[in-house]
Structure 1
Amino acid sequence: MASQSQGIHQLLQAEKRAKDKVEEAKKRKGKRSRQAKEEAMAETDQFRIQREKEFRMRQSKVMGSQSHLAEEIEEHTAGKMQGLKGSYSMGMDSVITRLLGMVCDIKPEIHVNYRAAN
C-alpha cells in the first residue's frame, strides 16, 4: 500500500509540474502576444506617420500650384477689366452724342399715311 500512496504522490507531483508548465506557457504566450501587439502598433504608427508626411508633401505641392494659379487668374482678370474700362470710356462719348442727337434733333414730318381732310 505504501507503494500505491507513493505512486499517487508521484502522480500528483507530476500533475502539479505539468500544471505549472502549462501556466508558465500561458504566461509566455500572453507576454509574446502583448509584445507582438506593441510591435504591430509601433509599426502601424510609423507607417501612418510616413503616409501623413507624404500626404502633406503632396498637399503642399498642389496647394502651392493652386495659389500660383489664383495669382495668374487675378492678374488676367485685372487686365481684362482694364481693357473693358478703356473700351467703355472710348465708346461712351460717341453713344451719348448719338443718343442726345436722336432725342433732341427732331425733324417734324407728316406721316405717309396721313390724309388731309378737305
Structure 2
Amino acid sequence: MASQSQGIHQLLQAERRAKDKLEEAKKRKVKRIKQAKEEAMVEIDQYRMQTDKEFRMKQSKVMGSQSDLSEEMEEQTLEKIKDLRANYSKYMESMLSQLLNTVCDVKPEIHANYRATN
C-alpha cells in the first residue's frame, strides 16, 4: 500500500507541476501578446507620423507653388500696367494730333458714285 500511495503521491505532484507549467505558459503567452500589441501600436504611430509628415510636405509644396504662382501673376500684371501707362504717355500726343488733324482738316471731295445731272 505504501508503494501505491507513493505512486499516487508522485502522480499528484506531476499533475501539480504540469498545472504550474501550463499556468506559467499562459502567463508568458498573455505577456507576449501584450508586448506584441504594444510594439504594433508603436509601429502604427510611427507610420502615422511618417505619412502625416509626407502629407504636410506635399500640401505645403502644392500650396506654396500656388502662392508663388499668384505672386508671379501679380508681378506680370503690374509690369503690364506699367508698360501700358508708358505707351500711353509716349503716344498720346501724336495720336491726339492725328485725331485732331483728321477731324479738323476737312477736304471736300465729290464722292466717286456721284452722277452729275445736266
The TM-score, its normalising length taken from structure 1, stands at 0.63
Give the SS at the match of 2:26: helix
Give the SS at the match of 1:101: coil
Give the SS at the match of 1:32: helix
Deviations 1:44-66 (A, max 9, x none): 34444445555555455444333
The TM-score, its normalising length taken from structure 2, stands at 0.63
The equivalent residue for 2:75 is 68
Correspondence for 1:110 among 105, 110, 117: 117
Find out whether 1:95 has 2:102 as its counterpart: yes
CA distance in 1, matches of 2:46, 2:85: 58
Unaligned regions of 5+ residues in structure 2, if any?
Answer: 1-7
Let me know the Cα RMSD of the aligned residues.
3.4
- After the TM superposition, which residues 1-118 of structure 1 pair with which residues of structure 2 at under 5 Å, given as runs? 1-55=8-62, 58-82=65-89, 85-97=92-104, 101-102=108-109, 109-110=116-117
Which amino acid in the other structure matches residue 51 of structure 2? T
Deviations 1:2-48 (A, max 9, x none): 22222122111111110110100000111111112222333334444
CA distance in 1, matches of 2:28, 2:106: 110
Deviations 1:71-111 (A, max 9, x none): 111112233445565454222223324667359xxx99337
Q: Percent identity?
A: 9
CA distance in 1, matches of 2:52, 2:99: 68
Unaligned regions of 5+ residues in structure 1, if any?
Answer: 112-118
Give the SS at the match of 1:78: helix
